[in-house]
């Protein structure tokens, strides 16, 4: 038997320190800006505790749907301080089963005027004197099975975490995790124990508001789970400076060692440390902490036990192998036991040690490394799931099951039912397992099969999991779709949305929790995506490309349900077919790209004379750049996204320029390097046909470089419109200066056209009427006299910018949308090939049609290879 003891002596602490370092030290900081010092917090908690029944007349069970605000946290602290028992749950319908079984005496309301509703005149439950807190296990949120924790459990673990992480009164945390989750609640406990402060913020790690709070309030410690680290890595949010942040503490499941190494390395660059932790609700919160100084060299370890806790390995369990054993925990953080019935609330401590269900090894370095799970539990998406409980629920429903799980979800194999179709059996099993596990049907995969057995007669669990996961992709998708329809999960729309995005971006898989941009979507691909998604879910909301695709799926489902409501029920195909109305909504930027390329091509062929299309497209390009590549939160992310876009522009342009140069000397090397305006002869327009591409590349690089200036980048993250409109106004200076000394093709070079690109970027973020009008004013100043002898051309450009600014979307006949999508998607290729085709087709109409058709065909052929090249040269931020 291996025994692991802590490196530090055990510590002591309470939820509210009796003597903080300074009474005026901030304790809680609300999102509203209100700050409570420790002295004020003590007074507020005492006042609130006095509004609860006197514990001397009987301790009460207080239901606390704790929210990350002052009212929620004060009610929780007051309940503990008053000597009652806190039943902490999420603020949603998942708590119904808990409240049905454990009727609370008191409920916290969140209303400062009436903070508690008292349901009973006398206590309903007999509560053990040591009992202070009831929490759901991480895998049973919503289940009536609860973890019983004493005041000593909570206080000792809070002090141990504070000591292990080196928390001091100078530290400040933020509620980045839900407070009903033991990890999130431990952040509050440990910082209060250390006399530190906590910013109460209700927001996702993906929200800019949370990161503004981190920076504005000087947050020093950030608690995260692996999925949050993955999201932060995909968006690059930790790559930008957060001067106050000194520690990122990760727990809630295993994080891949490669990601641990990357995050630790990023921390060294940005000035924060990474602490990897391991814990369970049954151990109050944290069991072990890997010191940040050891993380880089031991990314597969979870450290040493927190002060006061010891760990040993039981190598006698059947799953033990190669020196690994079940991790067994002893110490003051070990829970009193489970509650599965109200009578259990009267029980005292039932455990002297906690058998975690995790398999681990202790190396010569004294560090614990987890190597797997015992069969009784699985960890799914960071949640600890009791397999036996799920199997019991399935058995009660009449199934013969075998349950397992992995990072992808819960795997359920059930034997076929006589007289019931496979699809119906799978649907019912999926629903039961989803409810029993708390994961929901979407995270459950089901196979209806004869369960395989080992030679000793036991069910082959690995074989069952393989059967669930091992079907062909097409068969699995079809079965998953039909099964989910039967349980009401309706992922059909999710499947079609994912398929559409995967097809547009050339991906093998799509994660509905990520946005179009996070999947590598850019301004070149958004046309196809927006039109196809609009056909599936209806009009897309502003900023759709930054929203998780799952939100678009839910939006589409809600609209379809609304459409079905007047008739009572939707048709069987309503969830499967795209909307077929006679009108469709299309983004104005898509319409402008389609119109502009037609008038450019037709004007060059002398079919008609409508000039200004290319200059309008520069504003549209700036608009799309601001929404896509330049929307990344870090300078590095913006450079990567912009370079991806420029690869998509440069590859076909270079190919066309090389072809023209080699075959008939139409172009030269300045065209090939996309810098004819800078190194070629622009004075007389020699080889200047591709001026738009030169300007687009230079404008994109210029604005990306401007935003890479740290001070500018910080303002851009807070208020991108303010930066863009100032840049647009400043860009008017070279526009007027250059054109005061020159004419002709100088109106197509970057210094004179950058204002158009910047105006487009400002339009993308003009979120109020006043801002839209100010942006248009800048455009009018630059455009009213841009072509002094051609006011119609100026009016065309300004009309396009006005439409982009004032009409985010337009309704068009549905039959016209596929044509517009094709033209907008192929606009770059039409622009590139038109010049060589117009010379060889004799009639203006024929030349225009052939050039447009050739560009569309070339786009169809080249789009997927170019996208693969983009991924190879500059992989997307995923």
Assess if residue 878 is contained within a domain.
no
Is the Cβ–Cβ distance between 551 and 776 less than 8 Å?
A: no
Least confident of 157-171, 257-271, 354-368, 394-408: 394-408
Q: Mention every residue, 6+ apart, whose C-beta is less than 8 A from residue 718.
A: 208, 212
Assess if residue 10 is contained within a domain.
yes
Q: Is the pTM of this model over 0.85?
A: no
Q: What is the pLDDT of residues 395-453, one digit of tens each?
A: 888 888 888 887 667 899 998 888 888 888 888 898 898 888 877 777 788 989 888 86
pLDDT attached to residue 867? 82
What's the rounded Cα separation, in Å, for the pair 447 and 465? 9
What's the rounded Cα separation, in Å, for the pair 334 and 336? 7
Q: Are residues 689 and 658 in the same domain?
A: yes
- Rounded mean pLDDT of 722-726? 95
CATH number of the structural domain spanning residue 410:
3.30.300.30
pLDDT attached to residue 491? 40
What's the rounded Cα separation, in Å, for the pair 22 and 26? 9
Closest CA to 802 of 831, 775, 841: 775
pLDDT attached to residue 486? 40
Q: Which residue has the higher pLDDT, 579 or 517?
A: 517
State how beta strands 304-305 and 310-314 pair. Answer: unpaired
Q: Are residues 392 and 323 in the same domain?
A: no
pLDDT attached to residue 454? 53
Query: Counting runs of H as helices and runs of E as strands, what totals does the chain give?
Result: 30, 28
Is the Cβ–Cβ distance between 290 and 263 less than 8 Å?
A: no
- Rounded mean pLDDT of 463-471? 76
- pLDDT tier, 379 (very low <50, low <70, confident <90, very high otherwise): low
Furthest CA-CA distance within the chain: 100
Cα of 733 vs its chain's centroid, Å: 40
pLDDT attached to residue 462? 75
Is pLDDT of 473 > 70? no
Least confident of 203-207, 500-504, 647-651, 787-791: 500-504
Beta-bridge mates of residue 338: 147
Q: What phi and psi, each to the nearest 5 degrees, are found at residue 72? A: -65, -45
- Rounded mean pLDDT of 159-168? 95
Tokens (6 digits) for 386: 């009791």
Assess if residue 778 is contained within a domain.
yes
Closest CA to 318 of 353, 359, 377: 359
Assess if residue 76 is contained within a domain.
yes
Q: Are residues 475 and 342 in the same domain?
A: no
- pLDDT tier, 562 (very low <50, low <70, confident <90, very high otherwise): low
What is the span of the domain harbouring residue 390?
A: 377-487
- How many C-alpha atoms does 68 have within 13 Å on its Cβ side? 23
Q: Which residue has the higher pLDDT, 686 or 708?
A: 708
- Rounded mean pLDDT of 695-719? 92
Q: What is the pLDDT of residues 48-66, one digit of tens each?
A: 999 999 999 999 999 999 8
Torsion angle of the four alpha carbons 59, 61, 65, 69, in this order, in degrees rounded to the nearest 10: 0
Least confident of 291-300, 357-366, 567-576: 567-576
Assess if residue 35 is contained within a domain.
yes
Q: Are residues 204 and 311 in the same domain?
A: yes
pLDDT attached to residue 383? 64
pLDDT attached to residue 231? 79
Choosing from 556, 580, 604, the residue where a domain stops is: 580
Q: Are residues 661 and 610 in the same domain?
A: yes
pLDDT attached to residue 346? 93
- pLDDT tier, 506 (very low <50, low <70, confident <90, very high otherwise): low
Is pLDDT of 20 > 70? no
Q: Are residues 686 and 715 in the same domain?
A: yes
Q: Which residue has the higher pLDDT, 387 or 727?
A: 727
Q: Are residues 420 and 544 in the same domain?
A: no
Q: Are residues 695 and 569 in the same domain?
A: no
Least confident of 26-40, 168-182, 345-359, 540-554: 540-554
Edge to edge, what strands does the sheet with 409-414 contain? Answer: 401-406, 409-414, 444-448
pLDDT attached to residue 463? 77
- Rounded mean pLDDT of 63-87? 94
Assess if residue 129 is contained within a domain.
yes
Q: Are residues 564 and 622 in the same domain?
A: no
Q: Are residues 127 and 154 in the same domain?
A: yes
Q: What share of the chain is helix, strand, coil (3-state, %, to 5)?
A: 50, 15, 35
- pLDDT tier, 519 (very low <50, low <70, confident <90, very high otherwise): confident
Beta-bridge mates of residue 380: 383
pLDDT attached to residue 489? 38
pLDDT attached to residue 495? 66
Q: What is the pLDDT of residues 665-687, one digit of tens each?
A: 888 898 899 888 888 765 556 67
What's the rounded Cα separation, in Å, for the pair 140 and 378? 12
**What's the domain count of the chain?**
4
Beta-bridge mates of residue 811: 585
What's the rounded Cα separation, in Å, for the pair 425 and 419? 10
pLDDT attached to residue 418? 81
Q: What phi and psi, each to the nearest 5 degrees, are found at residue 24? A: -90, 5
Is pLDDT of 30 > 70? yes
pLDDT attached to residue 582? 73
Assess if residue 341 is contained within a domain.
yes
pLDDT attached to residue 571? 35
Is pLDDT of 5 > 70? no
Q: Are residues 355 and 382 in the same domain?
A: no
Highest mean pLDDT among 136-145, 177-186, 575-584: 177-186
Mean pLDDT over each residue of the chain, to the nearest integer: 84
CATH number of the structural domain spanning residue 324:
3.40.50.12780
DSSP label at residue 436 = H
Choosing from 429, 456, 487, the residue where a domain stops is: 487
Other Cβ atoms closer than 10 A to 575 = 19
- Rounded mean pLDDT of 813-824? 88
Assess if residue 817 is contained within a domain.
yes
Beta-bridge mates of residue 445: 411
What length does the chain have? 878
Least confident of 295-299, 326-330, 633-637: 633-637
DSSP label at residue 830 = H
Is pLDDT of 458 > 60? no
Q: Which residue has the higher pLDDT, 493 or 293?
A: 293
Cα of 243 vs its chain's centroid, Å: 23
Is pLDDT of 727 > 70? yes
Is pLDDT of 138 > 70? no
Closest CA to 346 of 125, 648, 626: 125
Q: What is the percent of the chain where pLDDT is above 90?
A: 49
Tokens (6 digits) for 564: 């079905």
Closest CA to 249 of 229, 233, 270, 271: 229
pLDDT attached to residue 70? 94
What's the rounded Cα separation, in Å, for the pair 841 and 855? 15
Q: What is the percent of the chain where pLDDT is above 70?
A: 87
pLDDT attached to residue 94? 64
- pLDDT tier, 284 (very low <50, low <70, confident <90, very high otherwise): very high
pLDDT attached to residue 44? 93
Q: Mention every residue, 6+ apart, whose C-beta is less than 8 A from residue 511.
A: 519, 549
Q: Are residues 212 and 349 in the same domain?
A: yes
Tokens (6 digits) for 698: 């230079």
Q: What phi and psi, each to the nearest 5 degrees, are found at residue 6? A: -70, 155
Closest CA to 821 of 589, 577, 500, 516: 589
Choosing from 550, 580, 610, the residue where a domain stops is: 580
What's the rounded Cα separation, in Å, for the pair 433 and 394? 7
- Rounded mean pLDDT of 371-395? 73
pLDDT attached to residue 381? 57
Buried b (16+ CB within 10 A) or exposed e, 848-875: bbbbbebbbebbeebbeebbeebbeebe
């Amino acid at each position: 038997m291996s025994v692991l003891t802590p490196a530090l002596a055990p510590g002591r602490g309470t939820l509210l320190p009796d003597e903080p370092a300074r009474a005026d030290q901030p304790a809680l900081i609300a999102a509203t800006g209100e700050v409570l010092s420790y002295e004020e917090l003590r007074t507020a908690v005492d006042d609130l505790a006095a509004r609860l029944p006197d514990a001397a007349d009987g301790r009460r069970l207080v239901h606390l749907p704790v929210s990350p605000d002052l009212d929620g946290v004060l009610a929780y602290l007051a309940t503990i301080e008053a000597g009652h028992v806190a039943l902490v749950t999420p603020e949603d319908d998942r708590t119904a089963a808990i409240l049905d079984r454990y009727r609370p005496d008191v409920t916290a309301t969140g209303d400062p005027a009436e903070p508690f509703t008292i349901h009973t005149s006398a206590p309903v439950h007999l509560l053990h004197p040591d009992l202070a807190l009831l929490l759901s296990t991480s895998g049973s949120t919503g289940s009536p099975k609860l973890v019983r924790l004493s005041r000593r459990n909570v206080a000792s673990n809070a002090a141990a975490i504070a000591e292990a992480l080196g928390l001091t009164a100078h530290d400040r945390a933020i509620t980045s995790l839900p407070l009903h989750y033991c990890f999130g609640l431990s952040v509050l406990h440990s910082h209060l124990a250390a006399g530190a402060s906590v910013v109460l913020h209700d927001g996702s790690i993906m929200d800019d508001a949370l990161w503004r709070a981190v920076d504005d309030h000087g947050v020093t410690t950030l608690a995260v789970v692996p999925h949050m680290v993955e999201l932060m890595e995909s968006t690059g949010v930790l790559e930008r400076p957060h001067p106050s942040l000194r520690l990122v503490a990760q727990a809630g499941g295993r994080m891949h060692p490669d990601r641990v190494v990357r995050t630790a390395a990023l921390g060294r660059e940005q000035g924060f440390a990474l602490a990897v932790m391991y814990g369970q609700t049954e151990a109050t919160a944290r069991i072990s902490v890997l010191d940040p100084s050891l993380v880089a060299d031991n990314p597969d370890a979870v450290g040493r036990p927190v002060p006061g806790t010891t760990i040993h390995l039981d190598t006698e369990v059947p799953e033990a192998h190669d020196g690994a054993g079940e991790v067994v925990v002893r110490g003051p953080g070990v829970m009193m036991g489970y509650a599965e019935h109200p009578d259990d609330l009267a029980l005292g401590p039932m455990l002297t040690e906690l058998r975690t269900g995790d398999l681990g090894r202790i190396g010569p370095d004294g560090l614990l490394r987890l190597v797997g799970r015992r069969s009784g539990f699985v960890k799914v998406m960071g949640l600890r799931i009791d397999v036996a409980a799920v199997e019991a629920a399935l058995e009660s429903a009449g199934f013969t099951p075998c349950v397992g799980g992995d990072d992808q979800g819960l795997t359920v194999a059930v034997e076929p039912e006589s007289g019931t179709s496979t699809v119906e059996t799978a649907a019912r099993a999926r629903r039961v397992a989803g409810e029993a596990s708390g994961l929901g049907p979407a995270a459950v995969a089901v196979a209806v099969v004869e369960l395989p057995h080992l030679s000793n007669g036991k069910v082959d669990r690995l074989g069952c999991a393989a059967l669930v996961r091992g079907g062909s992709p097409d068969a699995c998708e079809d079965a998953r779709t039909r099964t989910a329809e039967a349980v009401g999960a309706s992922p059909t729309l999710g499947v079609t949305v994912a398929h559409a995005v995967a097809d547009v971006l050339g991906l093998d898989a799509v994660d509905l929790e990520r946005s179009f941009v996070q999947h590598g979507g850019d301004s070149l691909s958004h046309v196809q995506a927006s039109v196809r998604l609009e056909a599936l879910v209806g009009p897309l909301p502003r900023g759709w490309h930054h929203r998780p695709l799952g939100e678009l799926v839910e939006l589409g489902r809600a609209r379809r349900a609304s459409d079905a409501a007047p008739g009572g029920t939707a048709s069987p195909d309503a969830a499967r077919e795209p909307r077929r109305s006679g009108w469709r909504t299309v983004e104005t930027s898509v319409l402008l790209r389609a119109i502009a390329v037609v008038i450019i091509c037709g004007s060059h062929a002398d079919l008609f004379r409508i000039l200004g299309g290319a200059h309008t497209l520069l504003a549209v390009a700036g608009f799309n750049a601001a929404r896509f590549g330049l929307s990344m939160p870090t300078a590095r992310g913006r450079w990567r996204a912009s370079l991806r876009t420029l690869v998509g522009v440069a590859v076909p342009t270079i190919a066309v320029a090389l072809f023209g140069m080699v075959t008939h000397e139409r172009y030269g090397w300045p065209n090939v390097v996309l810098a004819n305006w800078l190194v070629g002869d622009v004075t007389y327009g020699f080889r200047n046909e591709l001026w738009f591409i030169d300007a687009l590349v230079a404008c994109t690089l210029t604005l990306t470089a401007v935003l890479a200036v740290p001070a500018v980048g910080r303002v851009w993250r807070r208020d991108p419109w303010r930066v863009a409109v100032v840049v647009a106004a400043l860009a008017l200076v070279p526009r007027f200066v250059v054109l005061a000394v020159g004419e002709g093709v100088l109106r197509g070079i970057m210094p004179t056209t950058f204002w158009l690109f910047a105006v487009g970027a400002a339009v993308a973020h003009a979120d109020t009427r006043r801002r839209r009008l100010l942006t248009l004013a800048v455009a009018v100043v630059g455009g009213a006299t841009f072509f002094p002898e051609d006011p119609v051309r100026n009016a065309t450009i300004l009309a396009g910018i006005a439409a982009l600014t004032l009409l985010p979307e337009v309704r068009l006949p549905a039959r016209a949308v596929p044509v517009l999508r094709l033209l907008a998607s192929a606009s770059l290729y039409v622009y590139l090939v038109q010049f060589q085709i117009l010379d060889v087709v004799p009639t203006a109409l024929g030349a225009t049609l052939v050039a447009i058709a050739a560009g569309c065909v070339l786009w169809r052929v080249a789009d997927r290879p170019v996208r693969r090249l983009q991924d190879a040269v500059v992989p997307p931020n995923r």
